[in-house]
Amino acid sequence: MGNIKFNYLYRDAGNYKKFASVVFSNPEMLTLQSVAMPLADIFSEEGLFVAHQIRVPEVFFYVRGNATSDDHCFHEFDGVEETLEAPSDQHSRSISEFLAEARREATRGWIPFDPHEAILKLLVEPNSPQ
C-alpha cells in the first residue's frame, strides 16, 4: 500500500471548479475505505470544509482584490486514492495525523469567513496571519 492522496476542489456559485490534492504518507497502512468514510463524516453533508483550518492550500479563483459575488470560503472533499507519489503535505503529516486534525477542526466547527473581507484585510495588513 502506498501513500494516500486527498483530493478536493473549490467550486464557486457559478459551478466553476478548481481541483487540488495533497499526498500524505501512510505508515499505518490505512485502507482507502478507513480514510474516506471518516472524512465523509467529518466534513459537512455536502463535503464542505474550510481549507486553512485543516492546513491544506486554498485554491480559490480570486486573488487579492477580485472576489466576486460567486465566491465563498468553502472547499469540497472529492475523495482519496492510493498513490506512489511522494508525500506533498507542507506539514509532513501522515494520513492518520491529518484525519485526527480534521476531526478536531470539525468538532471545533468550520468557521466561515467572507472572502471579500479577508481580501480587504490582506490589502490593509499584508503581513498579518489569516
Q: Is the pLDDT of residue 9 over 50?
A: yes
- In 3D space, the residue among 11, 107, 4 whose CA is nearest the CA of residue 54 turns out to be 107
Band (pLDDT 50/70/90 cuts) for residue 65 is low
pTM given for the model: 0.83
| CB of 22 closer than 8 Å to CB of 67 | no
Where are the chain's structural domains?
A: 3-124
Q: Which residues contact 38 (CB under 8 A, 6 or more apart)?
A: 99, 103
The whole-number average pLDDT for the span 61-66 is 62
pLDDT band at 118 (very low <50, low <70, confident <90, very high): low
